[in-house]
Structure 1
Amino acid sequence: MADNGNGNNGAAPPEAPQVRMQVLGQYVRDLSFENIVAQKGITNAEVQPDIQVQVSLDARKRAVDHQYEVVSKFKVTSKNKADQAPLFLLELDYGAIFHIEGVPEEQLHPFLLIECPRMVFPFIRRIISDVTRDGGFPPLNIDTVDYLSLYRQELSRRAQAQVPAQQVS
């Protein structure tokens, strides 16, 4: 049999396993909103908000085969640019249960921490928008989160933490 140039002597290339992902459920694990402006009775109309969003992720295997829980944690703080006085604090832990098959073991960790949070992000964005609006502020429509960049930053941070400090001679 003649070699067709791909090294498998004319045989069809092996088929990659079909990835199957299904969202089985979504839920708010924890939600907290503090309207500090209302609590302190601040009525200064010269408020220019400076908003910071922190995101962290957690994933774990569940007892049922092929099921995983992914929790996205958002901490949104708003301070007045002029005097750094806090305006509001929002904390949201949003969980989702996924059924995942066909993802190779070595690719499962990034899949859980990149693709899964990306699937539920629109729901998180809506909750944050609704809560800030209902809390007395303009609705906060947070920017799309770059989960791939977050994953790479975390890998880099872990790698640096494992490297012992080099001694200067």
Structure 2
Amino acid sequence: MAENGNGTPEAPAAQPPGQPKMQVLAQFVRDMSFENILAQKGLNAGEVVPEMTVQVSLDARKRAVEGQYEVITKFKVASTNKADGSSLFLLELDYGGIFAIDGVPNEQIHPFLLIECPRMLFPFVRRIVFDVTRDGGFPPVNLDTVDFLALYRNELVRRAEAQKAQSSIV
């Protein structure tokens, strides 16, 4: 033991709690659909003023192997003609990852799965959306960064309000 300068032994420093560890074991496209509605109508992109909407949802589940989880990010990217609201294209992408996670307390695993894991997957989703829209004959869509923490918090608020509304009905 070391001394603290006045001749008394110093207690050993407390070890910091284990740092969370995450390993991406696999990434995959679970489902993808791209509908080029503009081409089906026989129009070209120069005849429209596009407007874009992006919807994001997440799903996570524990796998049979201890410490492994599957996280699915679901993106729906729709483009419509601003002038008349007609659809130009629709891209739906379910992109997943399998993660080995250690050192995360049980009460923190849910937010970890729905915030940190999607952050790891997002650059790959962005690239797929960019390539598919470009290859589909449109200017490539470069998705803005998604704030998964805000998305998670908004979902918690939405669920709390739904639960409150449900309890006031009863």
Normalised by the length of structure 2, the TM-score is 0.88
CA distance in 2, matches of 1:43, 1:118: 35
Shift of 1:17: 1.4
Shift of 1:12: 2.8
- Identify the residue that residue 22 of structure 1 maps to in structure 2: 23
In structure 2, give the amino acid aligned to 1:47.
V
1:31-42 matched pairs, under 5 angstroms: 31-42=32-43
1:33-112 matched pairs, under 5 angstroms: 33-43=34-44, 45-112=46-113
- Identify the residue that residue 137 of structure 1 maps to in structure 2: 138
Could you report, residue by residue, the CA deviation over 1:41-68 in whole angstroms, capped at 9, with x for unpaired residues? 1247331111000000000000001000
Look up the SS of the partner of 2:58 in the other structure. strand
Look up the SS of the partner of 2:119 in the other structure. helix
Cα distance change of structure 1 residues 111 and 64 upon mapping to structure 2, 3 Å threshold: same
- Identify the residue that residue 158 of structure 2 maps to in structure 1: 157
Report the count of equivalent residues. 159
Q: Is there any run of 5+ residues in structure 2 with no aligned partner, and where?
A: 1-9
Shift of 1:123: 0.2
CA distance in 1, matches of 2:152, 2:105: 18
CA distance in 1, matches of 2:44, 2:109: 50
Could you report, residue by residue, the CA deviation over 1:102-154 in whole angstroms, capped at 9, with x for unpaired residues? 00111110000000000010000000000000101011001000000000000
Normalised by the length of structure 1, the TM-score is 0.89
CA distance in 1, matches of 2:75, 2:17: 35
CA distance in 2, matches of 1:26, 1:45: 36
CA distance in 2, matches of 1:43, 1:123: 29
Cα distance change of structure 1 residues 22 and 141 upon mapping to structure 2, 3 Å threshold: same
% identical aligned pairs: 67
The answer to whether the 8 A contact 2:20-2:101 is kept is: yes
CA RMSD of aligned residues (A): 1.7
Shift of 1:30: 0.3
Look up the SS of the partner of 1:159 in the other structure. helix
Shift of 1:11: 5.7
In structure 2, give the amino acid aligned to 1:79.
T
In structure 2, give the amino acid aligned to 1:126.
R
The runs of at least 4 consecutive aligned structure 1 residues that moved more than 6 Å come to none
Look up the SS of the partner of 2:46 in the other structure. coil
